Structure 1
């Protein structure tokens, strides 16, 4: 057991060193690569063979989901027809640790003839691929984590991290936002968190718990129970929200010496309540509720008139939590 842990820790240490050494690759060449991609009028075509191919596929997916149109092309398939996917407007990002991968080197003359900008990511600056690229990103490592020095381990980790650095740098340069990210991730929990607004899930119209400022505590309790949101709003003659009464308020007043159900609701309501608006992201509302340590709130318009109501259960049901 101790030997297994020792092996694992050695791998982690080697790969940690490989990542730390990438700092030297964040240089003028890295800036040139970013600028080439930002200026690209086509797509970023990422390619790599074997384990580098798996990393290339992931980098392409990360680029595509963070505002840089990209896709992966297998270099072997490219030589048998898939080169038709390439245009002169494209940027090619080619991964090869040795820089001598036959399937990629074979493509270089055709890519140059097309006029594609070629960005290489290799562990050998003197390699054929590096020397025939417009921009070279060095991803070399001192050693592989594999004790045989054969299986790509630290080198693929370094390439993956450098690819992530490229994608995130481009994301920030483009001013890519959470809303932009959501547009390419509409499905599942991620999409719900980033796309849903209060308007999509709030209770509206006659489902909003609300009583007049002239109502009694008893009437407020009945309204609160009927609507089942753990609260009721209190509005004035202009239908503006002037206060809120919650389950928590009721529990606190039950032991109060002056507690009576015929009390006017304005005597027991909370005057300053936390509110939100309809077009705010539901995820932002969740953050607000958590920071204020509340479980329900009202959605109001510009005139502070309630147009909706929400509680934690609504956010949970919608998949925001």
Structure 2
């Protein structure tokens, strides 16, 4: 065999390193760090933008057509507010002057007070927009320490009727006074349970629900004119105020 060249394994030198027992040869200088990239002058990347001015609203010309649209929009909005305010004034006047409304209000307050003293609760039910109003009333009564819950009439027929106890008072909210989902509850309610109806009717003999349950307390909440007459559409606005 020929002479084999003895190879010495040494660590890569990145600084002055001395290996004990190693043959000292010419030391290798550490590798140079990579050169940082040379950036082109700043002006080659972008040019400074001039400040964008949006101007003031007074500087924006407005056509006569736009002015008319704005005025029409504001007129429609204030018309809704004034109509709803007129409806509230009409209801306030009703409870100031009408014996049926005044009697219904006093009987409702007495029933709520009596049931509260008996540890009963106020259960309010309604469908659709009336259901939203019912939830709002529940929140208001609870804030006054009058224990209240919302009962969905659909769920009530599928097991939730068990929430109604002996000393509870039940309030129906139905503007028409003939909501079918509420009609379906009547056969399942015990006679001793106090029942109040908040409706658009002002007389018991015009309300279909009261005809089926004559002991129901009437709380009238009519509107002074239909929403169709007020706004051209029958969407619930005044009747839900």
Q: Does TM-score exceed 0.5, indicating one fold? A: yes
Structure with the largest fraction of helix: 1
Picking from 118, 121, 136, the partner of 1:43 is 121
Per-residue CA shift, 1:87-146, capped at 9, x if unaligned? 2211001100001111111112222x2521000000023122244252100001023446
Alignment-derived partner of residue 71 in structure 1: 149
Distance 1:92 1:4 in 2: 42
Distance 1:130 1:122 in 2: 11
Alignment-derived partner of residue 120 in structure 1: 197
Structure with the largest fraction of strand: 1
Per-residue CA shift, 1:162-195, capped at 9, x if unaligned? xxxxxxxxxxxxxxxxxxxxxxxxxxxxxxxxxx
SS in 1 for 2:80: helix
Q: What is the TM-score normalised by the length of structure 1?
A: 0.46
1:141 equivalenced with 2:223 (yes/no) = yes
Picking from 82, 87, 95, the partner of 1:18 is 87
* 1:148 Cα offset (Å): 3.6
Alignment-derived partner of residue 152 in structure 1: 236
SS in 2 for 1:136: strand
Alignment-derived partner of residue 181 in structure 2: 103
Question: Which has the higher relative contact order, 1 or 2, with Cα contacts under 8 A spaced 6 or more apart?
Answer: 2
- Taking a change above 3 Å as real, the CA distance of residues 130 and 15 of structure 1, as seen in their structure-2 partners, is farther
SS in 2 for 1:93: strand
Alignment-derived partner of residue 3 in structure 1: 72
* 1:151 Cα offset (Å): 1.3
SS in 1 for 2:170: strand
1:29 equivalenced with 2:99 (yes/no) = no
Equivalenced residue count is 156
Distance 1:127 1:99 in 2: 5
RMSD (CA atoms):
1.6
- Taking a change above 3 Å as real, the CA distance of residues 84 and 148 of structure 1, as seen in their structure-2 partners, is farther
1:85 equivalenced with 2:167 (yes/no) = no
Per-residue CA shift, 1:253-286, capped at 9, x if unaligned? xxxxxxxxxxxxxxxxxxxxxxxxxxxxxxxxxx
* 1:6 Cα offset (Å): 1.2
Query: Which is greater in Rg?
Result: 2
Distance 1:118 1:64 in 2: 19
- Taking a change above 3 Å as real, the CA distance of residues 72 and 92 of structure 1, as seen in their structure-2 partners, is same
SS in 2 for 1:80: coil
Distance 1:2 1:130 in 2: 46
Unaligned runs of 5+ in 2: 1-69, 97-101
Alignment-derived partner of residue 280 in structure 1: none
SS in 1 for 2:173: strand
Distance 2:141 2:239 in 1: 20
| C-alpha contact (below 8 Å) 1:87/1:114 kept by paired residues | no
